[in-house]
Homo-oligomer: A and B are copies of this chain.
């Protein structure tokens, strides 16, 4: 399988695949003419990468999962390093959820205040009383 076919089957672009390779995540063979050649295993690797990126992982976070797949496991998340990353990411998400919830609360408060103190004199009027 060449890079174009892999890109299509993985639902991504050739540019992306070369990018992953440049960052050490995908290792294709090379045919005599220098073309990248991929097998089915690499397809699963790419799909794992995509799935994790979609969830908000960075490329570095993805590495353990790829290594786990390469080690012959059916799933990329059953290895200790993957579990560590999963835990860390879960904690990060929890953190972010907290902050986002606080922000939401502040926005609601602000919005309430804004509506209570509505002013239409915003466009181009005098600063104080008319």
Interface residues of A, Cβ cutoff 8 Å to B:
55-56, 67-68, 71-73, 75, 77-83, 86-87, 89-90, 93-94, 96-97, 100-101, 103-104, 106-108, 110-111, 113-115, 117-128
* A96 CA / B120 CA spacing, docked (Å): 31
Residues of B within 8 A of A83 (CB): 111, 114-115, 118
Is the beta-carbon distance between B71 and A87 smaller than 8 angstroms?
no
**In the complex, which of the residues B86, B104, B113, B127 contacts A94, with contact meaning CB atoms closer than 8 Å?**
B104
Is the beta-carbon distance between B119 and A73 smaller than 8 angstroms?
yes
Is the beta-carbon distance between B86 and A119 smaller than 8 angstroms?
no
Residues of B within 8 A of A117 (CB): 75, 78
* A55 CA / B128 CA spacing, docked (Å): 29
* A71 CA / B121 CA spacing, docked (Å): 7
Is the beta-carbon distance between B100 and A96 smaller than 8 angstroms?
yes
Q: A75-B117, A78-B117 are in contact. List 14 more A-B contacts (CB 8 A).
A: A55-B107, A56-B103, A71-B121, A71-B123, A71-B125, A73-B119, A73-B121, A77-B111, A77-B114, A78-B113, A78-B122, A80-B120, A97-B101, A97-B104
Is the beta-carbon distance between B114 and A78 smaller than 8 angstroms?
yes
